[in-house]
Structure formats: C-alpha cells, structure tokens
Amino acid sequence: MPGYSPQEIEKKWQAHWKEHNTFKADNASEKPKYYVLDMFPYPSGAGLHVGHPLGYIASDIVSRYKRLQGFNVLHPMGFDSFGLPAEQYAIQTGQHPAITTEQNIDTYIRQLNSLGFSYDWSREVRTSDPNYYKWTQWIFLKLFNSWYNLDTDRAEPLKTLLDKFAENGSQGIRAAGDDEERHDFTAGQWQMWSEKQKLQAVHPYRLAYQSDTYVNWCAGLGTVLSNDEVKDGVSERGGFPVERRLMPQWNLRITAYADRLLQGLDTIDWPEAVKEMQRNWIGKSIGAEVTFAVQGHEQAQIKVYTTRVDTIYGATFLVLAPEHELVKTLTTPEQQEAVQAYIDATKRRSERDRMADTKTVSGAFTGAYALNPFNNEPIQIWIADYVLAGYGTGAVMAVPSGDQRDYVFAKHFNLPIVQVVDQQQIEEQADPTKEGSYLHGLITGLGYKEATQILIQQLEERGIGKGKVNFRIRDAIFGRQRYWGEPIPIYYKDGVAYGVAEADLPLVLPEIDEYKPTETGEPPLARAKDWKYKGQYDYELSTMPGWAGSSWYFLRYMDPENQERFVGQEPEQYWQNVDLYLGGAEHATGHLLYSRFWHLFLKDLGLVTAHEPFQKLINQGMILGRSNLIYRIQGTNTFVSAGKKDEYKTTELHVDVNIVDNDILNLEAFKKWRAEYSTAEFILEDDGTYVCGTLVEKMSKSLYNVVNPDTLIEKFGADALRLYEMFLGPLEQFKPWNTNGMSGVAGFLKKLWRLYHPQDGDFAVTDEAPKPAELKALHKAIKKVEEDIEKFSFNTTVSALMITVNELTTLNTHNRAILEPLVVLISPYAPHLAEELWQKLGHEAGSISSVAYPEFKEEYLVEDTVNYPVAINGKVREQLQFPATATAAEIEAAVRATDILARFAEGKEAKKVIVVPGRMVNVVV
C-alpha cells in the first residue's frame, strides 16, 4: 500500500463534507450555542495568498474543537462583494462589476474549500445580492424614520416625535443633533404647515439625514472617498488628486450613540489596543462652549469648544478651519489673496494628513479681530489647516502658554504668549500645568477647580457660553458617488427626500451603459434610463459606502433565507451575538465601530436582543513575506550568486519566490519568467547553484514574494498548510513566512500516518492493552491541547502534538486505546487526515466532528517512580530511583545503605541527609 497521500485524501473528504452538509448548523438545539465568525473577505481578482487564511484556520480550529466539546457551532462565510476595485475594473473594461465579482467569489470559494474549512455554506451571504441588500436598505429606512430621544436615551420611531410636535410644537424636545439646524415652532404652526414644510422641519432630527458636509472629493474616480482611501493627498487606488469639498451628503447620526459606544467597551472581551483606538476615535471630553464676538461684525459670532476654559485669559488669537463658514465674511480685502491661496492649498490635503502633520507650521491671518469675552481684548483671527471644520465648532481658542501647537504657531507668527498660572514655565515651550494660582481677572488667586466653576457659571449667566460634554466622533458620511454599491432607497418629490416604501424593496441597481460619472459630473446612476420611483420621482443617485452591508451581516447569517424579516426572532434570540470574532486590527474604528452603532440602533427598536454584536475579538497578526533577492552586475545582464556578490558592484532585485527552492534559484524558470532575462548569464557558487539573498517584508505582488496556497496544497497538502500557519508563532503576532518550513510539518503528518500504517504498509491498529507510558503521553496531550485551544495558543498545541507523536513512535505504539483518541485530538488541525484515519478505525464516514472530546484523566500522569539526583556536599554524584510513595525516612535509609559514600566521600560518615520530596537528596559529610 502506498504511503500518506494528502492530495487524494483531502479531495475525498472535501467532497464528502459538501455532499452531506456536515457542518450545517441548527437554529435550535439543546446543545449550548457557539458562534464563530471571520471578517468576511472582499473577493479581489488575485485570490488568496498564504497570509490570508491565518485567521480562517484559527477560527476553523476553534469551531471544530467546540463541536467536539458538545456545542452547536455556527461557522458561516460570505463575501463583502460591493466595492471600488470591481467598479474601476468595470470602467476600464466595460464589463459589469457583477461578472467580475462572481468570478472572484468562485475563486475564493474554491480556495477556501481546498483548505478544509468547516463552513456552513448554506448560510453564505453576498452584500451585492439584492436579496441581501434589500435588508441593508430596510435598515437604512429605519434610521431615516427614527430620531434619538435624549430623555429616554434611545432611538425611537419618528411617530413619537411627530406626536410631540402636534401637542407642543418644538418646545421641550431634547433630541440628539445640532439644535442650530432646527427651528422653534408652536403646535399651531405645525398644524398649519404643508407636508413639505413639516418634512423640512423633521429632517434635522432624523438619524439618517442629508446635509452639506466636507468630503474627500476625487475627480479622477468621480466619487467621495473615506479617509482610509486617501494617502498624501491622492487616492490610494489610482493615485488621483483628492480635495476637500462641501457637498450635500447623506449622514448617519452615530454621534447620538457616542456615550453608549464608549460605555459598551467595558462589557466586551476585545484587545485593549482596539478598545483604546475606539475610545480615542469617540474622544469624550468635558469642557465649555464659549462665544467670541467679532469686531466690526455685530452679527458674527465664533463659537469654540475648550476643555481648558480656565486658560481663557491666555487666549491671544483664534484659529478657524480654512473651511469655516465665517472665513469669507471676516477676511479683509488686504488679506483676501493670501487667505484664498491658503484655502486652495488646504483642499488638496486629506483630514488625516492634516491631523498627522505636527511639524509644519502654516496659516493665514484674516485681518479680523475677535474680542476675548472676559477682558474684551482684541485678538487676531487666523485660519490654519490643523483645525478641522467637522471637529467641534471648527474654531480653536489658541492659548500658546498652555498648548504646544499654539505655542509653536505663536512663535512662528510672532503672536503674544500670556502666562496664565503663576507656576507656569513658558520660556522655551508651552506648560499645560493646572497647579498654582491664576493671574488674571475674575479668577485671580484661585486654583483650577474653583476657576473653572466660576468661569462656566459666568458664561451661562451672561449668555455667552455653557458647560458642555463634547465628542470627537462625527456623524458618518453615508454616500458614495459610485455605481457598484447599494442604491440608497430615497426619492425626491418637490425637492424633499422621501423613503421608498418597504414593500418596494429591494431597490435594485439599474443597468447603465458606462460605470463612470456623467459628462456633467453627476454620479454614474444618473446614466440609468427611465429610472424613477413610481415612474415619476427622481431617485437618490449616490450609493451606500462599502461598510453598509458589513455592518450587520453577522445577523443575516443567523437566518439567511428569511424573506419576511432581516433575521427571524427565534434564530436571533437563540444565537444572540458572535462569541468569537477574528479579523484584522485595521478595522478597529471603521467596521467594528459602525457595526456596534447599527446593533445598538436595532436594539433600541427591539429588533435584536444582545447589547453588543461581538463578545470576544481576536486580531490575528500579519504573515510577512520572505522575499528572495538576486544580484545583477551593474551594466550587464549577468547575475552573481549571493556567496560571491561582494566581489562585484551589483544591483539588488526581487525575484519570484515561486521559482526558488530553499533559496536556490531555478535558472531555466528564471529565464522564462520575464523576457529581459531570457539571455541572462550567471556566476554560480562552487557547487554550481545560484543562491538567492533573503529579506522579510510585507507580502506583496510588487515584491514577488506572494505565495499561492494552491501551489503548497498541491505539493504538501492542506493539512500541512493549516498546521504550518499555526506553528509559525502566536496568532496575534506578525510572523515571517518561509516555505522551506513546510517540509517539516509534512514530515510530522507522515510520521502520524505511520503509527496507523507501520512502514507505510497496511492499516495495522491493534486491540492490545496500552502501556503506562503510552497512556501518560496521550493524557498529557489531551490536557495540553484543551488548555491551549481555550487560550487560543495554537502554535504550542502543534508543538505538543509533534512531541506526542514522537513519543508514541519511540514506544512503537499501534494500539486503538491510544490512537483513536489521538485522531480526535488532531482533527481540528488536520481534519482530512483525521477523517481518513477515523474511518479506517471502523467509524462511520465523516462522523469525527460529532464525537466527544477525549476525557483527561489525571491518574495517568501520576508517576510510579521518581528519579532522585543524590548530591554529596552539594555536588551531584549519582541518580537513584525510588517509588513515588517512598517517605523521606525510607529514602534516607536507602541512601545510607548504598556505597555512594565509600565511592565519593572517601568513606566519611554522613553528618546529615536532606531529602527534598520528589526532587533530590543532599548528603552532608
């Protein structure tokens, strides 16, 4: 019989699992539930490389292990299938994005299945499927038709707000959002208004609303981009210029949930770094809002938010965001040219770049002056790009003595720096100290706490400000001027936005002739012919952002076929939330924060039961590429091997790692790799090989260090790849890839196979009784594997299994009592081989997933005998073995009865014998 053949075995069991729906989860069970989720992938054309499956392998191990532990496990997979890459490809080729996306998904499914993942494929979702995005649109409409009641601290249907308007007008309404966007009216006025007037009054209260918002506009792509999609002032995809532009945009009022999102972080088991990123993004601060009058502009007022109102006497200038609505009004004719030039330059920088750049000092004086409300001193009004229009009020009270950025700005532009507290040291830098006594005005001689209280009291009494809790987080922009996304279910009648009737969902993407903006700059959907609601009303032309569908997909997995509800009540109440979520840390403030927001909103409406969507989160580390380098002699097409490169002046180049084996370059494959290398010549090592250099860096196609899992599965098998990725190191850490290490793991699986097939012969498992040493090896492994998987320490589990197989090989173990539970232990890691051996052991095909995890028995780890090192005056001279039950007196008597003293102590008498139970014996002579 041939030896272990993973390729044959793996295809057999993958087909079996598919045919028998082995991993199909039930929505009701007497078993405890366990929901394991991967952050679902965007299906790119490149498919998977070996870095991608790391988290998927870990989640699959946990899923398989939890089934062995008696859990009803939900482990689904789907695809985040709307997005800009498919749209850009469509623009270039004219091919509909759905075709590209379908092809890419087929590749991903094939690759995922080739790795033996235990997904319940009957629950697959795709965000671009109208049957799915119908419910994304439905949730948007719920947001559109809800408001946030600060009195009840939750979202409510708009009907409760309309009832209040009908009874008392706007009086007494406490709603999340900007009060300045709303207007006061009486119940009588409300009753007299037209439908249009009522809708216009309601709009600023909605949780999904439209307003003029500063966005990252990319003319080259014809769309708005998120901050993540902009780098150094250009689009990450395509490198097109990006500018800040004020545009009407749909927004979601995530700010209403800021405090609850903050509090919820204390209830979930997430990496502290991720929670801290969310805390910083939400950015809660306690301070005051202050109104500054402007000289010569009686109607103009500048509101600033500050957490240090105690320093207001040190405010020597104001800084406005270049986009601030008052800049145009306040700028004097003399400063107009400089201010406009600065605004134009700022448009070319993303918010992220502006926030990150702490070294550049730039700004422009408007020529206008504000008045400090507490001493009436005139202070200059500047614009600078470190102030952002969307953060706070878009204006900063600059106190150079207490803030380093203000200090540097003041020094650079020769502006006043005023000491605020008597203990401040401001000769060389700002000093934010709160210690000491204040030096000015109403708070002279007071300390920080008293000064703050008095100033806030004065602000409120004078009507020029108030104490205020502020958040850094801003409402989420919810529109993209793209084609390949969910249509926003809004239509316009008489210039007012209406929600599409729920019965008319899904609003399906229309067919269009081109996938780029129109010649007049409208979004691609403007190209749709006769696309109107009820045949007469214009639809919204923007589509939803990429994160829309991924903000709730974990709920749809619970009940993906439900046509009446986004998730059925009973499945949702059974599964509730995700027990374990694996994915990259890069989603900390985007996907994860928005998902928590949507979930809290659905909770407010009574549509879900859990408070948080993801109870435990693990961020897997990145697998780094191991690049191979070749060395070309400058000015030639000759390449010199690494061992001899120092003899020549060379240029270092990357080479495709797939034509390198153990750092030895395949010369013929290299010549065929690229046309310019077909005539290459080589200076080789003395043994006739070309040895490449190596470098560990990010895995990337441009560095030619991407390793395709298909190639490795074909050569070593999927089980070997699964084991190797876990063996590389702790799950959360970054790890370098080295294909050379695959052979060692493949060798381990062959050794395991031979426990059941001696000398790669016939299956030969016996029913003989196990030896104590075999039971000890097995039960050490049972305990270790269980402990490590519960701690998500997968690399140490693989090491432990290797040690166990080595021990059993040395013991020549072939008996069922040991090898049967061993198969179960290894099945989460190497499921194909485990299924094959399980069937050979006489069990029903494909049944290993439903058996019980082996029971650990402490008794098999109890030693019968103990080896005692025997020392004379502290120096070990001998090893003696005693029964584990021997007492100290018995051990001492036995040692005295030996000839150890005669041999090593020149016959001297023992003054004292010290026995450390279970450890050692020391004889003092």
Q: Which tens digits make up the pLDDT trace of 578-610?
A: 999 999 888 888 899 999 999 999 999 999 999
Residue 488 has φ and ψ, to the nearest 5°, of: -80, 125
Would you say 850 and 891 are in contact if contact means Cβ atoms under 8 Å apart?
Answer: no
Take residue 294 and report the two structure tokens written for it. Answer: 């402007």
Domain ranges of the chain: 31-128+549-619, 284-471, 487-542, 623-703, 713-860, 865-924
Rounded percentage of the chain residues whose pLDDT exceeds 70:
100
Residue 287 forms beta bridges with which residues?
Answer: 468
DSSP 6: H
CATH 1.10.730.10 is the classification of domain 713-860: yes
Q: Is the separation of the CB atoms in 214 and 227 below 8 Å?
A: no
Q: How far apart are CA 737 and CA 823, in angstroms?
A: 28
Q: Which of 571, 516, 471 is nearest to 123 (CA)?
A: 571
Determine which helix (DSSP H) or strand (DSSP E) holds 415, and give its type and residue range: none
Q: Are 223 and 238 in contact (CB under 8 A)?
A: no
Closest by CA to 748, choosing from 849, 838, 833, is 833
pLDDT at 195 over 80: yes
State yes or no: pLDDT of 165 exceeds 90. Answer: yes
- The average pLDDT across 721-729 equals 96
* pLDDT surpasses 80 at 8: yes
How wide is the angle at C-alpha 308 spanned by C-alphas 304 and 313, nearest 5°? 80
Residue 705 · residue 628 · CB < 8 Å: yes
CATH of domain 284-471: 3.90.740.10
Helices (H), 631-697: 667-673
What per-residue confidence (pLDDT) applies to 1?
46
Please say if the pLDDT value at position 233 is more than 90. no
* Whole-number pLDDT of residue 182: 92
Q: In the block, which residue shows the tokens 């150079």?
A: 400
Q: Is the pLDDT of residue 265 over 60?
A: yes
Q: Collapsing DSSP states into helix, strand and coil, what is residue 728?
A: coil
Alpha carbon distances (Å) from 898 to 561, 878, 910:
80, 11, 12
Which residues fall in the annotated binding site for ATP?
Answer: 701
Considering only CA atoms, give the Rg of the chain: 35
Which fold is adopted by the domain 865-924? Ubiquitin-like (UB roll) (3.10.20)
- Residue 2's pLDDT is 65
Residues in the annotated binding site: 701
- Model confidence at 115: pLDDT above 60: yes
User: With 60 as the cut, is the pLDDT of residue 797 above it?
Assistant: yes
Token code pair at residue 164: 């209040």
Phi-psi region of 428 (alpha: psi -120 to 50; beta: other; left: phi over 0): alpha
Residue 441 CB-density burial (10 A; 0-12 exposed, 13-18 middle, 19+ buried): middle
In this structure, whether the domain defined by 31-128+549-619 belongs to CATH 3.40.50.620 is answered with yes
pLDDT of residue 222 exceeding 80, the answer is no
Question: What is the tens place of the pLDDT at every residue in 493-542?
Answer: 999 999 999 999 999 999 999 888 887 778 899 999 999 999 999 999 99
pLDDT the model gives residue 522? 84
Position 35, amino acid: Y
Token duo for residue 569 = 């009540």
Q: How many CB atoms lie within 10 A of CB 448?
A: 18
Each residue of 400-421: b (16+ CB within 10 Å) or e? bbbbebbbbbbeebebebbbbb
Percent of the chain with pLDDT over 90: 80
Q: Where are the beta strands (DSSP E) in 484-553?
A: 490-493, 496-499, 532-533, 537-539
More confident residue, 181 or 727: 727
Mean pLDDT calculated for residue range 188-217: 92
> Which helix (H) or strand (E) is 106 found in, with range?
helix 97-114
Cβ-based neighbours of 314, under 8 Å, separated by 6 or more: 399, 400, 401, 402, 417, 418, 419, 420, 440
Of the given ranges (245-249, 419-423, 698-702, 762-766), which has the lowest mean pLDDT? 245-249
